[in-house]
Structure 1
Protein backbone atom coordinates (compact mmCIF):
# COMPACT_ATOMS: atom_id res chain seq x y z
CA UNK A 1 0.00 0.00 0.00
CA UNK A 2 1.25 3.46 -0.90
CA UNK A 3 2.23 5.81 1.92
CA UNK A 4 0.72 8.89 0.21
CA UNK A 5 -2.91 9.27 -0.81
CA UNK A 6 -4.08 11.84 -3.35
CA UNK A 7 -6.98 13.13 -5.41
CA UNK A 8 -7.40 15.54 -8.31
CA UNK A 9 -9.65 18.58 -8.43
CA UNK A 10 -11.05 19.27 -11.91
CA UNK A 11 -13.81 21.35 -13.43
CA UNK A 12 -15.43 19.98 -16.55
CA UNK A 13 -18.76 19.67 -18.31
CA UNK A 14 -20.00 16.31 -19.60
CA UNK A 15 -20.49 17.24 -23.26
CA UNK A 16 -22.74 14.23 -23.99
CA UNK A 17 -25.12 15.25 -21.20
CA UNK A 18 -25.02 18.85 -22.48
CA UNK A 19 -25.97 17.64 -25.97
CA UNK A 20 -28.85 15.66 -24.49
CA UNK A 21 -30.04 18.71 -22.52
CA UNK A 22 -29.91 20.87 -25.66
CA UNK A 23 -31.93 18.31 -27.65
CA UNK A 24 -34.55 18.06 -24.91
CA UNK A 25 -34.80 21.85 -24.68
CA UNK A 26 -35.22 22.15 -28.47
CA UNK A 27 -38.00 19.53 -28.40
CA UNK A 28 -39.82 21.42 -25.65
CA UNK A 29 -39.42 24.75 -27.49
CA UNK A 30 -40.81 23.18 -30.69
CA UNK A 31 -43.87 21.86 -28.88
CA UNK A 32 -44.70 24.81 -26.62
CA UNK A 33 -47.53 27.12 -27.59
CA UNK A 34 -45.73 30.36 -26.61
CA UNK A 35 -42.90 29.53 -29.05
CA UNK A 36 -45.12 28.77 -32.07
CA UNK A 37 -43.76 30.60 -35.13
CA UNK A 38 -40.73 32.00 -33.30
CA UNK A 39 -37.17 31.70 -34.57
CA UNK A 40 -35.75 30.29 -31.33
CA UNK A 41 -32.74 27.99 -31.45
CA UNK A 42 -29.91 26.60 -29.34
CA UNK A 43 -26.65 25.55 -30.97
CA UNK A 44 -23.44 24.11 -29.57
CA UNK A 45 -20.41 25.63 -31.31
CA UNK A 46 -17.13 24.10 -30.04
CA UNK A 47 -16.76 25.58 -26.53
CA UNK A 48 -19.80 27.84 -26.49
CA UNK A 49 -23.56 27.78 -26.76
CA UNK A 50 -25.32 30.14 -29.17
CA UNK A 51 -28.92 30.88 -28.16
CA UNK A 52 -31.08 33.00 -30.46
CA UNK A 53 -34.71 34.07 -30.47
CA UNK A 54 -37.11 36.78 -31.66
CA UNK A 55 -36.59 39.21 -28.76
CA UNK A 56 -34.98 39.43 -25.32
CA UNK A 57 -38.06 38.15 -23.51
CA UNK A 58 -38.25 34.98 -25.64
CA UNK A 59 -34.47 34.57 -25.37
CA UNK A 60 -34.77 34.54 -21.58
CA UNK A 61 -37.59 31.99 -21.84
CA UNK A 62 -35.38 29.77 -24.04
CA UNK A 63 -32.59 30.09 -21.46
CA UNK A 64 -35.02 29.10 -18.68
CA UNK A 65 -35.99 25.96 -20.59
CA UNK A 66 -32.32 25.15 -21.28
CA UNK A 67 -31.34 25.73 -17.64
CA UNK A 68 -34.08 23.43 -16.37
CA UNK A 69 -32.98 20.65 -18.75
CA UNK A 70 -29.32 21.12 -17.76
CA UNK A 71 -30.11 20.93 -14.04
CA UNK A 72 -32.22 17.78 -14.55
CA UNK A 73 -29.23 16.17 -16.29
CA UNK A 74 -26.82 17.12 -13.50
CA UNK A 75 -24.94 19.87 -15.36
CA UNK A 76 -23.98 22.79 -13.13
CA UNK A 77 -24.85 26.30 -14.27
CA UNK A 78 -21.69 27.64 -12.57
CA UNK A 79 -19.60 26.72 -15.61
CA UNK A 80 -21.56 29.00 -17.96
CA UNK A 81 -20.13 32.39 -18.87
CA UNK A 82 -22.77 34.67 -20.40
CA UNK A 83 -21.95 37.14 -23.15
CA UNK A 84 -24.01 40.20 -24.02
CA UNK A 85 -27.26 39.97 -25.90
CA UNK A 86 -26.59 41.19 -29.44
CA UNK A 87 -28.81 41.81 -32.47
CA UNK A 88 -28.69 39.12 -35.17
CA UNK A 89 -30.07 38.63 -38.70
CA UNK A 90 -33.73 39.25 -39.57
CA UNK A 91 -34.62 41.16 -36.37
CA UNK A 92 -33.62 38.44 -33.90
CA UNK A 93 -31.30 38.55 -30.89
CA UNK A 94 -28.49 36.19 -29.98
CA UNK A 95 -26.46 35.45 -26.87
CA UNK A 96 -23.21 33.52 -26.73
CA UNK A 97 -22.59 31.47 -23.60
CA UNK A 98 -19.04 30.27 -22.99
CA UNK A 99 -18.44 26.88 -21.40
CA UNK A 100 -15.72 26.97 -18.75
CA UNK A 101 -13.61 23.81 -18.86
CA UNK A 102 -10.73 23.38 -16.42
CA UNK A 103 -9.66 25.47 -13.46
CA UNK A 104 -8.10 28.82 -14.37
CA UNK A 105 -4.95 30.04 -12.59
CA UNK A 106 -6.79 32.57 -10.40
CA UNK A 107 -9.22 30.00 -8.97
CA UNK A 108 -6.44 27.41 -8.65
CA UNK A 109 -4.48 29.85 -6.50
CA UNK A 110 -7.58 30.50 -4.35
CA UNK A 111 -8.02 26.77 -3.78
CA UNK A 112 -4.30 26.46 -2.96
CA UNK A 113 -4.66 29.21 -0.33
CA UNK A 114 -7.72 27.47 1.18
CA UNK A 115 -5.73 24.24 1.48
CA UNK A 116 -2.65 25.98 2.88
CA UNK A 117 -4.68 27.93 5.46
CA UNK A 118 -6.45 24.76 6.64
CA UNK A 119 -3.44 23.67 8.76
CA UNK A 120 -4.00 20.09 7.57
CA UNK A 121 -0.94 17.98 6.72
CA UNK A 122 -1.59 17.98 2.99
CA UNK A 123 -0.03 19.67 -0.01
CA UNK A 124 -1.46 20.77 -3.32
CA UNK A 125 0.07 21.55 -6.67
CA UNK A 126 -1.34 23.07 -9.84
CA UNK A 127 -1.06 20.77 -12.86
CA UNK A 128 -2.27 22.65 -15.93
CA UNK A 129 -6.03 23.12 -15.54
CA UNK A 130 -6.40 20.85 -12.50
CA UNK A 131 -5.00 20.51 -8.98
CA UNK A 132 -3.52 17.46 -7.28
CA UNK A 133 -3.89 17.28 -3.50
CA UNK A 134 -1.84 14.70 -1.60
CA UNK A 135 -1.19 13.71 1.99
CA UNK A 136 -0.54 10.72 4.23
CA UNK A 137 -3.91 10.72 6.01
CA UNK A 138 -7.07 10.02 3.96
CA UNK A 139 -9.22 11.72 6.62
CA UNK A 140 -7.31 14.98 6.07
CA UNK A 141 -7.96 14.70 2.33
CA UNK A 142 -11.68 14.21 2.95
CA UNK A 143 -11.70 17.24 5.28
CA UNK A 144 -10.01 19.24 2.51
CA UNK A 145 -12.74 18.20 0.04
CA UNK A 146 -15.41 19.39 2.49
CA UNK A 147 -13.63 22.72 3.05
CA UNK A 148 -13.23 23.37 -0.68
CA UNK A 149 -16.91 22.57 -1.29
CA UNK A 150 -17.96 25.01 1.46
CA UNK A 151 -15.55 27.74 0.26
CA UNK A 152 -17.90 28.85 -2.54
CA UNK A 153 -15.51 28.62 -5.49
CA UNK A 154 -17.32 30.04 -8.57
CA UNK A 155 -16.77 26.81 -10.53
CA UNK A 156 -18.37 23.38 -10.45
CA UNK A 157 -15.58 21.20 -9.03
CA UNK A 158 -15.26 17.45 -9.28
CA UNK A 159 -12.96 15.42 -7.03
CA UNK A 160 -11.57 12.44 -8.94
CA UNK A 161 -8.85 9.77 -8.71
CA UNK A 162 -9.06 9.44 -4.92
CA UNK A 163 -6.29 6.94 -4.11
Structure 2
Protein backbone atom coordinates (compact mmCIF):
# COMPACT_ATOMS: atom_id res chain seq x y z
CA UNK A 1 0.00 0.00 0.00
CA UNK A 2 1.48 3.40 -0.96
CA UNK A 3 2.52 5.62 1.93
CA UNK A 4 4.74 8.51 3.02
CA UNK A 5 5.95 10.06 6.27
CA UNK A 6 5.53 13.74 7.12
CA UNK A 7 8.05 15.02 9.66
CA UNK A 8 10.10 17.99 10.84
CA UNK A 9 13.76 17.16 10.39
CA UNK A 10 16.39 19.94 10.28
CA UNK A 11 19.83 19.44 8.80
CA UNK A 12 21.83 19.87 12.01
CA UNK A 13 25.17 19.99 10.17
CA UNK A 14 24.01 23.05 8.22
CA UNK A 15 22.63 24.61 11.43
CA UNK A 16 26.04 24.15 13.08
CA UNK A 17 27.76 25.67 10.03
CA UNK A 18 25.42 28.69 10.14
CA UNK A 19 26.08 29.18 13.87
CA UNK A 20 29.85 28.95 13.27
CA UNK A 21 29.66 31.50 10.44
CA UNK A 22 27.58 33.80 12.65
CA UNK A 23 30.17 33.56 15.44
CA UNK A 24 32.93 34.36 12.96
CA UNK A 25 31.07 37.40 11.62
CA UNK A 26 30.35 38.66 15.15
CA UNK A 27 34.08 38.47 15.88
CA UNK A 28 35.01 40.58 12.85
CA UNK A 29 32.24 43.21 12.75
CA UNK A 30 33.09 46.66 14.05
CA UNK A 31 29.78 47.22 15.84
CA UNK A 32 30.32 44.08 17.96
CA UNK A 33 33.91 44.94 19.01
CA UNK A 34 34.34 45.05 22.78
CA UNK A 35 30.87 43.64 23.50
CA UNK A 36 29.77 40.33 24.91
CA UNK A 37 27.92 39.37 21.72
CA UNK A 38 28.25 35.64 21.06
CA UNK A 39 26.32 32.67 19.72
CA UNK A 40 26.75 28.97 20.49
CA UNK A 41 25.04 25.67 19.67
CA UNK A 42 24.60 22.85 22.19
CA UNK A 43 22.65 19.78 21.09
CA UNK A 44 19.47 21.39 19.66
CA UNK A 45 19.66 24.74 21.42
CA UNK A 46 21.17 27.94 20.03
CA UNK A 47 22.11 30.45 22.76
CA UNK A 48 22.61 34.11 21.85
CA UNK A 49 24.47 36.40 24.26
CA UNK A 50 24.60 40.19 24.15
CA UNK A 51 24.74 43.45 26.09
CA UNK A 52 21.15 44.51 25.31
CA UNK A 53 17.92 43.38 23.70
CA UNK A 54 18.85 45.38 20.62
CA UNK A 55 22.17 43.56 20.29
CA UNK A 56 20.41 40.19 20.67
CA UNK A 57 18.19 41.27 17.78
CA UNK A 58 21.22 42.15 15.66
CA UNK A 59 22.86 38.77 16.33
CA UNK A 60 19.52 37.09 15.55
CA UNK A 61 19.38 38.89 12.18
CA UNK A 62 22.89 37.71 11.32
CA UNK A 63 22.02 34.12 12.35
CA UNK A 64 18.81 34.05 10.31
CA UNK A 65 20.67 35.40 7.27
CA UNK A 66 23.32 32.67 7.60
CA UNK A 67 20.65 29.98 8.01
CA UNK A 68 18.87 31.21 4.89
CA UNK A 69 22.13 31.26 2.94
CA UNK A 70 22.75 27.62 3.90
CA UNK A 71 19.21 26.59 2.79
CA UNK A 72 17.95 25.91 6.31
CA UNK A 73 14.34 26.99 6.81
CA UNK A 74 14.17 29.65 9.54
CA UNK A 75 10.91 28.11 10.79
CA UNK A 76 13.07 25.41 12.43
CA UNK A 77 14.17 28.02 15.00
CA UNK A 78 11.67 28.59 17.82
CA UNK A 79 12.07 32.28 18.65
CA UNK A 80 9.32 32.44 21.29
CA UNK A 81 11.76 32.29 24.26
CA UNK A 82 12.08 35.39 26.42
CA UNK A 83 15.30 37.37 26.66
CA UNK A 84 16.66 36.87 30.18
CA UNK A 85 19.20 38.81 32.23
CA UNK A 86 22.34 36.91 33.28
CA UNK A 87 23.96 39.41 35.60
CA UNK A 88 25.15 42.95 35.24
CA UNK A 89 24.00 44.35 31.92
CA UNK A 90 24.35 41.06 30.03
CA UNK A 91 21.38 39.23 28.49
CA UNK A 92 20.85 35.94 26.68
CA UNK A 93 18.17 34.19 24.66
CA UNK A 94 17.88 30.43 24.19
CA UNK A 95 16.43 29.34 20.84
CA UNK A 96 15.30 25.76 20.31
CA UNK A 97 15.84 23.99 16.98
CA UNK A 98 12.54 22.24 16.27
CA UNK A 99 12.76 18.56 15.46
CA UNK A 100 9.85 16.15 15.26
CA UNK A 101 6.16 16.98 15.04
CA UNK A 102 4.55 17.75 18.39
CA UNK A 103 1.20 16.16 19.20
CA UNK A 104 -0.93 19.28 18.57
CA UNK A 105 0.31 19.71 15.01
CA UNK A 106 0.08 15.95 14.38
CA UNK A 107 -3.57 15.93 15.49
CA UNK A 108 -4.26 18.98 13.32
CA UNK A 109 -2.74 17.19 10.31
CA UNK A 110 -4.74 14.05 11.03
CA UNK A 111 -8.05 15.94 11.25
CA UNK A 112 -7.24 17.92 8.07
CA UNK A 113 -6.77 14.70 6.14
CA UNK A 114 -9.97 13.18 7.58
CA UNK A 115 -12.01 16.29 6.78
CA UNK A 116 -10.71 16.45 3.21
CA UNK A 117 -12.64 13.26 2.35
CA UNK A 118 -9.62 11.92 0.44
CA UNK A 119 -9.14 8.19 0.30
CA UNK A 120 -6.10 8.29 2.58
CA UNK A 121 -5.54 7.60 6.26
CA UNK A 122 -3.19 9.41 8.62
CA UNK A 123 -1.67 7.79 11.69
CA UNK A 124 0.57 9.40 14.28
CA UNK A 125 3.75 7.39 14.86
CA UNK A 126 5.89 9.05 17.50
CA UNK A 127 7.12 12.33 16.06
CA UNK A 128 6.07 11.58 12.46
CA UNK A 129 2.72 11.27 10.70
CA UNK A 130 2.36 8.36 8.27
CA UNK A 131 -0.18 8.79 5.50
CA UNK A 132 -1.32 5.71 3.57
CA UNK A 133 -3.69 5.44 0.64
CA UNK A 134 -4.71 3.29 -2.29
CA UNK A 135 -3.35 5.46 -5.10
CA UNK A 136 -0.22 7.52 -5.59
CA UNK A 137 -2.27 10.49 -6.85
CA UNK A 138 -4.24 10.56 -3.59
CA UNK A 139 -0.99 10.74 -1.63
CA UNK A 140 0.31 13.58 -3.79
CA UNK A 141 -2.95 15.46 -3.22
CA UNK A 142 -2.52 14.89 0.54
CA UNK A 143 1.03 16.32 0.37
CA UNK A 144 -0.29 19.40 -1.46
CA UNK A 145 -3.04 19.82 1.16
CA UNK A 146 -0.58 19.57 4.08
CA UNK A 147 1.85 22.03 2.46
CA UNK A 148 -0.97 24.52 1.97
CA UNK A 149 -2.75 24.18 5.33
CA UNK A 150 0.17 23.58 7.72
CA UNK A 151 2.41 26.44 6.60
CA UNK A 152 3.76 27.46 10.02
CA UNK A 153 6.12 24.47 10.32
CA UNK A 154 8.73 23.24 7.79
CA UNK A 155 7.34 19.83 6.89
CA UNK A 156 9.40 17.36 4.91
CA UNK A 157 7.91 14.32 3.21
CA UNK A 158 10.07 11.21 3.29
CA UNK A 159 9.78 7.49 2.79
CA UNK A 160 7.40 7.74 -0.21
CA UNK A 161 6.57 4.14 -1.12
CA UNK A 162 4.45 2.59 -3.84
TM range, smaller chain = over 0.9
CA contact (8 A) 2:14 2:70 kept: yes
Question: Is 1:130 the counterpart of 2:123 in the alignment?
Answer: no
Bigger shift: residues 62-71 or 87-96: 87-96
Q: Deviations over 1:94-146 (max 9, x none)?
A: 00111221001110000001111111111110000001111111011011101
For these two proteins, the number of residue pairs brought into alignment is 160
2:77 counterpart residue number: 80
5+ unaligned residues in a row in structure 2: which ranges? none
CA contact (8 A) 2:101 2:127 kept: yes
> What is the CA–CA distance in structure 1 between the aligned matches of 2:71 and 2:146, rounded to whole Å?
20
Q: List 4+ stretches of structure 1 deviating above 3 A.
A: none
Bigger shift: residues 147-156 or 53-62: 147-156
1:22 counterpart residue number: 19
> What is the CA–CA distance in structure 2 between the aligned matches of 1:57 and 1:65, rounded to whole Å?
13
CA contact (8 A) 2:109 2:150 kept: no
> What is the CA–CA distance in structure 2 between the aligned matches of 1:161 and 1:152, rounded to whole Å?
19
Question: Is 1:102 the counterpart of 2:104 in the alignment?
Answer: no
Residue correspondence of structure 1 range 6-155 to structure 2 within 5 A: 6-82=3-79, 83-155=81-153
Per the TM alignment, residue 153 of structure 1 is displaced from its structure 2 partner at its CA by: 4.1
TM-score normalized by the length of structure 2 = 0.94
- Superposed CA RMSD in Å reads 1.2
TM-score normalized by the length of structure 1 = 0.93
